[in-house]
Amino acid sequence: MTRLDLKKQAFALALTLTAPALAQAGNPLLPSGPDPWVAQKDGFYYYTNTLGDRIDLWKTTDMRKLSQAMRVTVWRAPVSGPHSFSIWAPELHFLDGKWYLYYSASERGHDDDAHRHVFVLENPSSDPTEGTWVDKGMLKTGYNGIDGTVFDHGGKRYFVYSAYVGDHSDLVIAPMTNPWTLSDKQVDIAAPTYEWEMQGGRKILEGPEFLAGPSGKVFLTYSASACWSDGYSLGLLTADAKADLTDPASWKKSPTPVFASANGVYAPGHNGFFQTPDGRHWLIYHANGGPDWKCTKRRAPRIQPFDFGPDGTPRFGAPVPDAKN
């Protein structure tokens, strides 16, 4: 073995030892934080999570110091109307020079699947913690549903959400004509088909999130099963770079979870992605610190780095043990 080979081996070992330590240092990032989300712009991370009656944004330059970040309430639910209750899963996106907040909500007094929809707010300020948020209304989805996300690929913009279809939740994709308008073409691309997607008495695919692979492949992670089950876990859909993303046949589903309960961390899911200045990819997700904690505010945000395999597929590994364990 040459000296160069030894150096490469040592560097690889250092990464293996350092990455978990970096993640473990602050997990969980906050004592509570279901449905965490991170957006990045101009050297800042903007974080948000489900709070139920409002949307707050945290602003920081170091995600591991999230508990020390500046925090601002940017929107509160109205006292009545279709988006007055159960404010869930906010996602912040910078699109066409403006900020947009997508969130799920229902109508007060009708907190059920039949009244859940995705809504969006707009802010022209360069800093989403400043300026005025304007209500752009409810997105006209083909089904009632939750957990809307947005991504650009191949010169097109897409919206994906978790749709209530009969007794289960599927993933539906639609091209967008602008950040608050969907095209008429809305296609169901994935339904629960495996036992691990049906834990907790519900057949659920939710929390879809886009990830661009280094080799051009397109990935959608999603959270499978009921959130109150310890079997809640991440699944993965894969499509080729030049595939028609509105064709269900373009998407291939992993037959097993790609991120599941382990190492004293339970029910990991509802993830997002971000990158640090060194180019490292990070997974953010919520999870419980004990078994059978159900789907409550005890779900807390955690982060850990991940990489991609030789074929360009993400390798998330297993949840890193919390610092307290």
Which residues are catalytic, by number? Answer: 35, 206
Residue 259, exposed/middle/buried by CB under 10 A (0-12, 13-18, 19+)?
A: buried
Long-range contacts of 21-26 (CB under 8 A, 24+ apart): 22/64, 22/305, 23/302, 23/303, 23/304, 23/305, 23/320, 24/320, 24/321, 24/322, 24/323, 25/64, 25/323, 26/64, 26/65, 26/66, 26/67, 26/303, 26/323
| Alpha-carbon separation of residue 167 from 170, 215, 245, 247 (angstroms) | 10, 37, 25, 23
Closest CA to 53 of 82, 78, 72, 29: 78
Residue 253 backbone dihedrals phi, psi, to 5 degrees: -100, 135
- Residue located via tokens 């953010």: 284
For residue 257, report the phi and psi dihedrals to the nearest 5 degrees: -60, 150
Listed in sequence order, the residues at least 6 apart from 11 whose beta carbon sits closer than 8 Å to its beta carbon are none
Say how far apart CA 38 and CA 239 lie, in whole Å: 24
User: 3-state class of 109 per DSSP?
Assistant: coil
